[in-house]
Amino acid sequence: MLDQIAAVLGRTPSGLFIVTARNAEGQETGLLASWVQQAAFDPPAVTVAVNRKRYIHTWLADSPRLAFNLLGESQKNFLGHFGKGFEPGEPAFEGLHIDRTPTGLPVLSDALGWMEGDVIGSLEAGDHIIYLVQLTAAKAGSDLESHKPWVHIRKNGLGY
């Protein structure tokens, strides 16, 4: 039965995003996330699932704000850059063109668009923690209407 769950779950599509954050000391990081989903219309909100092994959880306790960069299907360079993850203090945006959200979070200039919001809740979900993020700002990139977002489909729903 688990094999069947893995097969179907892995084929469930999701987008690809680079999630960015800053800690209370001003350090910034970014991570690749595929489990971002709209959760509410009014006020607008999304959820994001983050592996428990990521140090960003401690950052969100003191600075509960995230930005989501929507990737286009041709932006494979970001997958290589952010896919391996970063250690605390390691520069995540070196060599990349970034802009800033109204609250100063880094966002990718080349993304199809970005959204920023405040974490207003969380839920433990096995090996991940799901955050509910109420959106407060967004900006469409110049390619949002002309390029397709990157849809991610896995071969197996039980691993990356």
Residue type, 47: T
State how far the Cα of 47 lies from the Cα of 59, in Å rounded to an integer. 17
Non-local (6+) Cβ contacts of 90 within 8 A are 29
Q: What structural domains and CATH numbers belong to the chain?
A: 15-152 (2.30.110.10)
Whether the full predicted model's pTM is greater than 0.75, yes or no, is: yes
Residue type, 77: N
State how far the Cα of 78 lies from the Cα of 18, in Å rounded to an integer. 8
Sign (positive/negative) of CA torsion 131, 132, 138, 144? positive
Average pLDDT taken over every residue of the chain:
95
Give the mean pLDDT of 83-100. 95
Whether 147 contacts 140, CB under 8 Å: no
pLDDT at residue 156 in the model: 87
